[in-house]
């Protein structure tokens, strides 16, 4: 009883003390905006010389609590902008409001948002490389951003390592495993971008990015004619790399995991001069990684230094170099094959032959970015990039798959070289005419891409008289010996002989005006783009095409937190292929019709996006089903339609509770047949692969905010795919189609201001998960023209533990 009384008295005295202290202090709050009226997020606001302050939120709002009575100088500042100061006097118990208007407009504050993006699940502003001059809430398009905090929490280490769970409707076509990402969305493979450049140089896409130098990733749904010279109407993803912030900070992390995963990363962010004009950032990673399959490795390192210099208050130059080096088991080692069905071999089974030389890759890029502020409301951006990709190695693919459970393994040479010269210049600006706000975007894109490859040599590891037995595998010396490829000629000469030449030249110009009416609550977008492309493939003559693509969008702010939009956009994608009649393939043309609603909830802490779309594409090529061995003819589909509904929610639902969840319904079918196409080959209503009909994802984290266990948290998430039609789909033979997919992951973490420990378990239910395709007529032997199932298995239950330290 005595203890109860003592506790009660202590509680009362503590409460009275807190109330007394509260009465003796004041609160200062307000809003920070730019000169053109936009909220300024992630601005430091504090009492000068007192070490007391805060950061503005996505709405530019700030609150400084527990300010003692007195007179103070309040300073609003951020790296790279002119600070603003005001003097204020506060008395006991007063709630004081003090607003700031910064000289810079919202374009000048883009880099300030980068530091804030890192700590958020929900992002409100696009990167400068998307060229949009407005918050995502106001853009007439569905754009989802995967922030750096999400990447860290989910322990993602590459672009092909679970990123897509954070975006509605996005799935992977796991062609060549961890070499390329190949994202499918809205029924087709979408374009891969890095810092606003289209970095696709061949059919297989760019080398998947290591997450050590990635700041965040932007997924743009539907056509993006104002961002791309040419591209698929299904969308694109833009990888935004880390840039200097001038905050003098660093982080080092160590990760260990199942199957001999060991990884170290370092992030150094520093001012080279005291005035903050000359900045430097270095991100580097080294990784050793095995596999749940024997004889398989994927060792990599990356090195990405960035320098930026503020030449004048209105001129900034940034130079960035990125190197990715990979040493991995021969390309194709992920695949399994059988004539009896999917997953009929153990998931740790491998067709790789130990002793085959690994594939080595060096991927270089050098980028220069110049930003010139032209007054308060205009900015000119010019950037140029050079990409060089070098590959020396091989790929594995069987020569024959027999119904008796044997196989002839084959290794083919795959030496490749890619070079890209890319340039952009664009102008963003805001002007008012008669009460109408004009957000102007105008610019030019140009590029030259060349890809050469030698895949003209191959070698059967197994002799016809001694095939590889799937039931009793022998990984000793192969019965037909190891390959000994002839590399005496130059790669250029070998590529010409193998038909491994691809090239593209393009030039485009565009103009967009977003007209804002009624205090910018109603926004009408009118845009157009002219594109010229010359493109060749497989060593053939170049196909040339030019096209004008219009864009019309409407976005209406119902209130400050809610907008509805409608969009009509067109896309233009040149394509190359061989038709049996010798005619030239026409470019793909397509359009997207879309409506949607976006809403920020609870002062912008979390956001929802709901959209519905219909995409039609004309002239798209697909493989001719009557191809014989060695033939690669294509046929024209006619018209293809993809339509669906997408829903995304992301952000902080409550203090310490963060959620990313999404759902998408996707349906892609043939709607018209091209002239001369037999209904035995294609038919109206036939499913065109490139999607999963239903995709659902979620990732939830909760962090304790108080107490002895403050900083301890739990996380978990799932991916659920239904009716997968990613690579092929048969309406008559369901056994040829992929089964539904469900994966559950989760873990624990603990963090304070300096240290964070994260542990996650992946595939908690230990399911046999895989993707794959059903092939017909691809394997030929003297007595067989055999169909086969092919699949890539995912890892069993596995774990990762990371320790990160900030300094």
Asked if residue 108 has pLDDT above 50, the reply is no
pLDDT digits (tens, 9 = 90+) for 262-272: 999 999 999 99
Q: Within its chain, how far is the Cα of 541 from the centroid?
A: 33
Question: Looking up tokens 């250029």, which residue turns up?
Answer: 492
Residues 6+ apart with CB under 8 A from 232: 188, 189, 190, 191, 223, 571, 573, 588, 590
Q: CA-CA distance, 378 to 249, in Å (whole number)?
A: 31
Closest to 482 measured CA to CA, from 355, 350, 667, 334: 355
CATH number assigned to the domain with residue range 249-708, chosen from the 4 options 2.40.170.20, 1.10.1740.10, 3.30.465.10, 1.20.120.340:
2.40.170.20
pLDDT at residue 116, as a whole number: 47
Higher pLDDT: 502 or 573? It is 502
Higher pLDDT: 43 or 205? It is 43
Both tokens of 198, joined, read 């289209």
Asked if residue 2 has pLDDT above 50, the reply is no
Asked if residue 15 has pLDDT above 50, the reply is no
pLDDT digits (tens, 9 = 90+) for 552-603: 999 999 998 999 999 998 877 777 666 777 677 777 888 899 999 999 998 7
Residues 6+ apart with CB under 8 A from 442: 426, 427, 510, 511, 512
pLDDT at residue 635, as a whole number: 77
Q: CA-CA distance, 412 to 142, in Å (whole number)?
A: 42
Asked if residue 781 has pLDDT above 60, the reply is no
The arithmetic mean of pLDDT across residues 434-443, rounded, is: 92
* DSSP-assigned states of every residue in 292-328: SSTT--EEEEEEEEEEEEEEETTEEEEEEEEEEEEEE
Q: Within its chain, how far is the Cα of 202 from the centroid?
A: 18
pLDDT at residue 6, as a whole number: 41
Phi, psi (degrees; rounded to nearest 5) at 641: -125, 135
pLDDT digits (tens, 9 = 90+) for 449-476: 999 999 999 999 999 999 999 999 999 9
Question: Looking up tokens 């491994």, which residue turns up?
Answer: 500
pLDDT at residue 631, as a whole number: 61
pLDDT at residue 545, as a whole number: 84
Question: Looking up tokens 């939120």, which residue turns up?
Answer: 57
The total of other beta-carbon atoms located within 10 Å of residue 705's CB is 12
For the whole model, what pTM was predicted? 0.85
Asked if residue 226 has pLDDT above 80, the reply is no
Which stretches of 449-607 are DSSP H helices? 491-498
Asked if residue 731 has pLDDT above 70, the reply is yes
Asked if residue 51 has pLDDT above 70, the reply is no
Phi, psi (degrees; rounded to nearest 5) at 491: -60, -40
pLDDT at residue 229, as a whole number: 53
At 636, the pLDDT band (50, 70, 90 cuts) reads: confident
In angstroms, the Cα distances linking 661 to 578, 606, 696, 704, 720 are 42, 11, 8, 21, 12
| Residues forming CATH 2.40.170.20 domain(s) in the chain | 249-708
pLDDT digits (tens, 9 = 90+) for 783-807: 456 788 999 999 999 999 999 999 9
Specify the range with the lowest mean pLDDT, choosing from 98-107, 287-296, 300-309, 384-393. Answer: 98-107
pLDDT at residue 230, as a whole number: 61
Phi, psi (degrees; rounded to nearest 5) at 246: 75, 20
Higher pLDDT: 428 or 54? It is 428
Specify the range with the lowest mean pLDDT, choosing from 63-67, 134-138, 392-396, 428-432. Answer: 63-67
pLDDT digits (tens, 9 = 90+) for 268-295: 999 999 888 999 999 999 999 999 999 9
| Residues 63/74, Cβ–Cβ less than 8 Å | no
- CB neighbour class for 421 (10 Å; exposed up to 12, middle 13-18, buried from 19): middle
pLDDT digits (tens, 9 = 90+) for 303-331: 999 999 999 989 999 999 999 999 999 98
| Residues forming CATH 2.60.40.1120 domain(s) in the chain | 2-103
CATH number assigned to the domain with residue range 2-103, chosen from the 4 options 3.40.30.10, 3.40.50.2000, 2.60.40.1120, 3.40.50.150:
2.60.40.1120
3-class DSSP state of 81 = coil
What's 466's DSSP letter?
A: B
pLDDT at residue 627, as a whole number: 61
At 231, the pLDDT band (50, 70, 90 cuts) reads: low
Which helix (DSSP H) or strand (DSSP E) does residue 117 occupy?
helix 110-117
What's 735's DSSP letter?
A: G
At 196, the pLDDT band (50, 70, 90 cuts) reads: very high
- Mean pLDDT, the chain, rounded, equals 87
Question: Looking up tokens 């020396």, which residue turns up?
Answer: 392
State percent of the chain over pLDDT 90: 59
The arithmetic mean of pLDDT across residues 120-135, rounded, is: 85
pLDDT at residue 258, as a whole number: 97
pLDDT at residue 536, as a whole number: 83
Q: CA-CA distance, 469 to 408, in Å (whole number)?
A: 9
The total of other beta-carbon atoms located within 10 Å of residue 603's CB is 11
């Amino acid at each position: 009883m005595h203890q109860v009384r003592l506790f009660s008295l202590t509680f009362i005295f503590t409460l009275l003390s807190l109330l007394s202290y509260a009465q003796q202090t004041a609160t200062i709050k307000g809003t920070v905006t730019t000169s053109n009226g936009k909220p300024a997020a992630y601005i430091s606001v504090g009492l000068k010389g007192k070490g007391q302050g805060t950061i503005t939120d996505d709405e530019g709002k700030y609150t400084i609590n527990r300010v003692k009575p007195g007179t103070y100088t309040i300073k609003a500042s951020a790296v790279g902008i002119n600070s603003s100061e005001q003097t204020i006097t506060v008395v006991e118990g007063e709630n004081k409001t003090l607003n700031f208007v910064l000289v810079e407009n919202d374009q000048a504050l883009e880099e300030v948002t980068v530091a804030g993006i890192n700590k958020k699940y929900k992002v409100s502003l696009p990167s400068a490389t998307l060229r949009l001059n407005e918050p995502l809430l106001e853009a007439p398009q569905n754009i989802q951003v995967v922030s750096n905090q999400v990447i860290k929490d989910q322990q993602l280490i590459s672009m092909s390592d679970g990123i897509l769970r954070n975006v509605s409707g996005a799935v992977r076509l796991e062609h060549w495993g961890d070499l390329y990402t190949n994202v499918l969305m809205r029924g087709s493979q979408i374009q891969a971008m890095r810092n606003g450049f289209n970095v696709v140089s061949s059919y297989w896409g760019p080398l998947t990015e290591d997450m050590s130098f990635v700041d965040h990733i932007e997924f743009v749904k539907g056509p993006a004619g104002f961002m791309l010279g040419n591209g698929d109407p299904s969308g694109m993803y833009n990888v935004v790399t880390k840039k200097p912030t001038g905050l003098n900070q660093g982080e080092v992390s160590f990760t260990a995991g199942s199957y001999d995963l060991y990884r170290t990363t370092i992030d150094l962010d520093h001012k080279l001069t005291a005035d903050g004009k000359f900045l430097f950032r270095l991100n580097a990673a080294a990784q050793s990684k095995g596999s749940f399959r024997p004889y398989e490795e994927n060792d990599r390192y990356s090195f990405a230094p960035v320098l930026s210099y503020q030449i004048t208050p209105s001129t900034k130059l940034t130079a960035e170099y990125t190197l990715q080096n990979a040493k991995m088991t021969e390309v194709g080692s992920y695949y399994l094959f059988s004539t009896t069905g999917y997953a009929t071999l153990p998931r740790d089974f491998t067709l790789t032959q130990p002793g085959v030389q690994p594939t080595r890759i060096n991927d270089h890029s050098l980028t220069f970015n110049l930003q010139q502020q032209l007054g308060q409301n205009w900015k000119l951006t010019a950037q140029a990039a050079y990409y060089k990709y070098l590959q020396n190695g091989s790929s594995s693919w069987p020569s024959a798959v027999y119904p008796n459970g044997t196989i002839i393994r084959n290794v083919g040479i795959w030496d490749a070289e890619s070079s890209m010269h890319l340039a952009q210049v664009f102008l963003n600006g805001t002007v008012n005419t008669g009460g109408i706000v004009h957000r102007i975007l105008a610019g030019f894109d140009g590029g030259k891409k060349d890809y050469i490859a030698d895949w003209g040599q191959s070698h059967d590891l197994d002799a016809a008289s001694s095939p590889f037995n799937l039931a009793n595998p022998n990984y000793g010396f192969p019965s037909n010996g190891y390959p000994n490829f002839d590399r005496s000629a130059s790669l250029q000469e070998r590529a010409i002989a193998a038909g491994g030449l691809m090239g593209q030249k393009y030039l485009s110009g565009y103009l967009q005006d977003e007209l804002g009416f009624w205090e910018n609550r109603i926004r009408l977008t009118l845009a157009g783009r002219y594109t010229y492309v010359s493109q060749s493939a497989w060593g053939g003559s170049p196909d040339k095409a030019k096209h004008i693509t219009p864009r019309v969008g409407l976005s209406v702010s119902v209130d400050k937190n809610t907008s509805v939009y409608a969009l009509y956009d067109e896309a233009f994608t040149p394509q190359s292929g061989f038709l049996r009649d010798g005619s030239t393939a026409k470019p793909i043309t397509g359009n997207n019709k879309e409506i949607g609603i976006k809403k920020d909830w609870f002062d912008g802490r979390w956001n929802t996006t709901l959209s519905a779309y219909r995409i039609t594409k004309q002239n798209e090529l697909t493989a001719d089903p009557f191809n014989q061995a060695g033939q690669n003819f294509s046929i024209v589909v006619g018209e293809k339609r993809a339509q669906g509904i997408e829903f995304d929610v992301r952000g902080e639902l409550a203090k310490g509770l963060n959620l990313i969840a999404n759902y998408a319904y996707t349906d892609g079918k043939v709607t018209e047949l091209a002239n001369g196409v037999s209904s035995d080959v294609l038919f109206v209503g036939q499913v065109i692969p490139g999607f999963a009909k239903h995709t659902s994802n979620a990732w939830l984290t909760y962090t304790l905010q108080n107490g002895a266990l403050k900083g301890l948290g739990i996380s978990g998430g799932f991916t659920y795919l239904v009716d997968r039609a990613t690579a092929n789909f048969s309406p008559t033979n369901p056994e040829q189609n992929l089964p539904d997919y469900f994966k559950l992951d989760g873990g624990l973490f603990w963090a304070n201001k300096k240290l964070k420990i994260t542990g996650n378990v992946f595939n908690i239910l230990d399911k046999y998960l895989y993707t794959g395709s059903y092939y017909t007529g691809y394997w030929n032997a003297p007595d067989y023209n055999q169909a086969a199932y092919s699949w890539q298995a995912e890892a069993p239950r596995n774990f990762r533990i990371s320790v990160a330290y900030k300094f």
